[in-house]
Structure 1
Amino acid sequence: MDTLTTSGLSGRMTQPPILVTGGTGKVGARIVARLKRENMAVRVGSRSGAPRFDWTDPSTWDAALEGSRRVFIVPHDGELLTRPFVRRAKELGVERVVLLSGRGVDVPGYAGDNDAVGKTHVDGEDAVRSCGLAWTILRPGWFAQNFSEGFFRAAVLAGELRLPAGDGAASFVDAEDIAAVAVAALTEDGHVGQTYELSGPRALSIGEALALISEATGRTVRYTPLTAEEFIAQLVAEGWPRPDAGSYADAVAPIRRGMDEHVSDGVQRALGRPPRDFADFVKDATAVGAWQGQGRPRDQDQPA
C-alpha cells in the first residue's frame, strides 16, 4: 500500500506536506482537518496561509508547492490557471494531483456556452489528464452545505428560498464525503486515473430539502419557484451585476431541467460505503447550530 511515512513514538510527521489549495473553503478545510487527524503533514493553500498562495499571483505558487509531492487542486473559477499551475507543480517535483471539478463537465447542454466556470473545469480536467502525473478527478454535484454555509443559508434564515429551480431535484452531496474521497485519493493506492462523480444517495427537490431543515430546526422555511427572468431581476434589484445574476440563474438551470437528479456511484467506488444522506447532514448541521441567528437578504457567494 502506498503510504506516507511517519516516525517517532508520537507519530511526528516526516513526510512531505500535502498542499491543499482552497484550504479554507467548504471542501478544503475538511480535507485539511482529516489529514491532520491522520497525522499527515499538510500545507494550507490560501491567501492567508503561510506561505501565502494566491491563484492570481503566480509568484506565490513556488513557495506553496515547495517540497510537496501531492496536491489537492480547487481551481480558480472563471480563469484557465489550472494548466500552468499543474505544469509548474510537475517541474517542482509534485507526483500526484487530485482535482476538484464539477458535475456535468462531459454532459452536452449542462452548462451554457459562455459558462466561465464550466470552461475552467473542462480545461482543468484536460490539463490534469495530460500532465504526466498520477491524477484523480472529483466531480461533485450540488453541495448539501450550500444550505448551511453557502449562498442558500441567508435565505434559510430569512424563511424563504427563491430560486429558478422549478420542481426539479438534485442529489445533494455532503462535503464531508467529498473530503473523504479526496483524502483517500491523496494518500492511498487504487485511485490513480479515476474520475469519481459524487452525489448523495437520493434526489430531493428544493422544497423537500427545506422541509427536512424545517422539521429539524423548528424554523419554517419555504421554497418559492421563480422564472429565470424574475430571479435575475430580483438579484439586480438587490445590487448584483446583471452578468453575475445571469450566471447564478444558469447554474441553477440544470436542476430545473432534471439534469442533477441522478445518483452517482463515486462515493461507493472510492470509499466502499454509500454516501451520507441529506437528512444526516441536516441533523449534524442542526446540532452545531448552523441555522441559528438572523437572515440577511442574500449572500453573494457563487454556486458550488
Structure 2
Amino acid sequence: MIVVTAAGGQTGTAVVAALRARGLPVRAVVGHRGPRPELAALGAEVVTAELTQPVAWSGVLAGADALYLIWPNFDPDEAEGAAALFAEARRAGVGRVVYHSVLRPQARGMPHHAAKDRAEQALDTAGLAWRVLQPCAYAQNLDEEVRRAADTGVLRSFWGVRTAQSLVALSDVAEAAAVLLTEAGLDGGTFEVAGPEPLTAPRVADLLGEALGREVVADDVVPAGEVPVSYRARCRRLMLDHYRAHGFAGSPRVATALLGRPPRTYAEHLADLLGPA
C-alpha cells in the first residue's frame, strides 16, 4: 500500500494515477470529506485526514509500504507539519518516504522554497529510508494564460520576457514520483525533474503561434505595488519576482534517467492542450 497526501490536488491525483497504472494499491488522503469521483474512478482507497493533525495518522499510515508526502502549495505550516508527519511515518514503520519538494529549495528568498528546504533537512534526520523529488514549474501552470492568448494573440507573462523556465509536464513528474516510490537503489537521493528546454515567455509565444498557425506575442506584465503581507500572496509575488530576475531553469538529465526517456517537450504539451488544429 502506498499513501499519497494532498491527493485531491492536481499533483496528488496525477501521482495516484501513475501508481494505479502500475497496478499498485493506493490510499489517497484528502483534507475534506466529500465525493472524490476522480480518485474513486482510479480505484484508490480515499481517506480523510488533516495534514496538521498528526495524531490521526497512525491509522492512515497503518500497513503502508511507502508514503508520498505532498504539502499544499504556499502553506505556512509545511516545514513543521512535514517534520511531524515524518515522525509519524517512522512510528508507523513505513518502509519508504518520498517528499515532494521543489527545484532549488535553497533559494530562500522564496518563503515556500525555504519551508521545503527545512522539511528536507528534517527528513534527513528522521530515521527513515527517504528520497526527495524536486520538480521545476509545471507546464500546466501556464495553461490559463495560453488559452487566453489563443483568443487574444497576446501571452501575458508575469515573470518577465528575458529569463527562462524549464517547464515540466505534470505527467512526467507523476511518473518520476512512481519510480521513486517503487524502484530499488534510490534511497538517500535527491532528484531534480525539469523539462527539456529553458523557455522564455517569447519562446512560449512562438511555440503557441506555431501550434495555432498565427502570430502570438509575449507581453511583460510588471507587478505593481508593494509585496503583499499575507503568506500565500507574498509567496506567489516573491516567486514571480525571483523568476523575473533569475529564471527557474534546470537540467533534464535526471528526469531522463528516471523516466528512461526524455521529458515531454512544451510543444507536445501544447498539442495535448489545444487539440487538433
Length-normalised TM-score, structure 2: 0.82
Correspondence list, 1:1-304, <5 A: 17-48=1-32, 50-76=46-72, 77-79=75-77, 80=79, 81-106=81-106, 110-112=107-109, 115-148=110-143, 152=145, 156=149, 159=152, 160-217=155-212, 222-228=217-223, 230=224, 232=225, 244-287=232-275
Amino acid of the residue matched to residue 121 of structure 2?
D
Secondary structure in 1 matching 2:246: coil
CA distance in 1, matches of 2:195, 2:157: 23
CA distance in 2, matches of 1:241, 1:221: 35
1:267-288: per-residue Cα shift (whole Å, max 9, x none)? 1232332211111111122239
**Offset of residue 218 of structure 1:** 6.3
Runs of 5+ consecutive residues of structure 1 not aligned to the other structure: 1-16, 290-304
**Offset of residue 136 of structure 1:** 0.9
**Offset of residue 152 of structure 1:** 4.5
CA contact (8 A) 1:138 1:195 kept: yes
Amino acid of the residue matched to residue 90 of structure 1?
R
CA distance in 1, matches of 2:126, 2:231: 33
CA distance in 1, matches of 2:142, 2:214: 13
**Offset of residue 243 of structure 1:** 5.9
Of Structure 1 and Structure 2, which has the larger fraction of its residues in helix?
2
CA contact (8 A) 1:166 1:226 kept: no
**Offset of residue 39 of structure 1:** 1.2
RMSD: 2.8
**Offset of residue 64 of structure 1:** 2.0
State how many pairs are aligned. Answer: 259
CA distance in 2, matches of 1:103, 1:200: 12
- Structure 1 window deviating more from structure 2 (168-177 vs 152-161): it is 152-161
Amino acid of the residue matched to residue 122 of structure 1?
D
Q: Name the CA shift for 1:39/1:243 in 2 (closer, same or farther; >3 Å).
A: closer
Q: Name the CA shift for 1:132/1:167 in 2 (closer, same or farther; >3 Å).
A: same
Counterpart position of 2:43: none
Q: Name the CA shift for 1:214/1:55 in 2 (closer, same or farther; >3 Å).
A: farther
- Structure 1 window deviating more from structure 2 (46-55 vs 242-251): it is 242-251
Q: How high is the sequence identity, in percent, across the aligned residues?
A: 26
**Offset of residue 153 of structure 1:** 6.2
Amino acid of the residue matched to residue 26 of structure 1?
Q
Length-normalised TM-score, structure 1: 0.75
**Offset of residue 63 of structure 1:** 2.8
Q: Name the CA shift for 1:157/1:131 in 2 (closer, same or farther; >3 Å).
A: farther
- Structure 1 window deviating more from structure 2 (269-278 vs 94-103): it is 269-278
CA distance in 2, matches of 1:138, 1:168: 24
CA distance in 2, matches of 1:63, 1:219: 55
**Offset of residue 116 of structure 1:** 3.0
CA distance in 2, matches of 1:219, 1:190: 48
Secondary structure in 2 matching 1:197: strand
**Offset of residue 219 of structure 1:** 8.3
1:170-202: per-residue Cα shift (whole Å, max 9, x none)? 111111111111101111112211111111111
Q: Name the CA shift for 1:43/1:157 in 2 (closer, same or farther; >3 Å).
A: farther
Q: Name the CA shift for 1:154/1:215 in 2 (closer, same or farther; >3 Å).
A: closer
CA distance in 2, matches of 1:276, 1:142: 14
Q: Name the CA shift for 1:255/1:36 in 2 (closer, same or farther; >3 Å).
A: same
Secondary structure in 2 matching 1:273: coil
CA contact (8 A) 1:146 1:153 kept: no
Runs of 5+ consecutive residues of structure 2 not aligned to the other structure: 34-45
Q: Name the CA shift for 1:46/1:153 in 2 (closer, same or farther; >3 Å).
A: farther
Q: Name the CA shift for 1:38/1:262 in 2 (closer, same or farther; >3 Å).
A: closer
CA contact (8 A) 1:255 1:261 kept: no
Counterpart position of 2:36: none
Amino acid of the residue matched to residue 263 of structure 2?
P
CA contact (8 A) 2:30 2:49 kept: yes
Secondary structure in 2 matching 1:181: helix
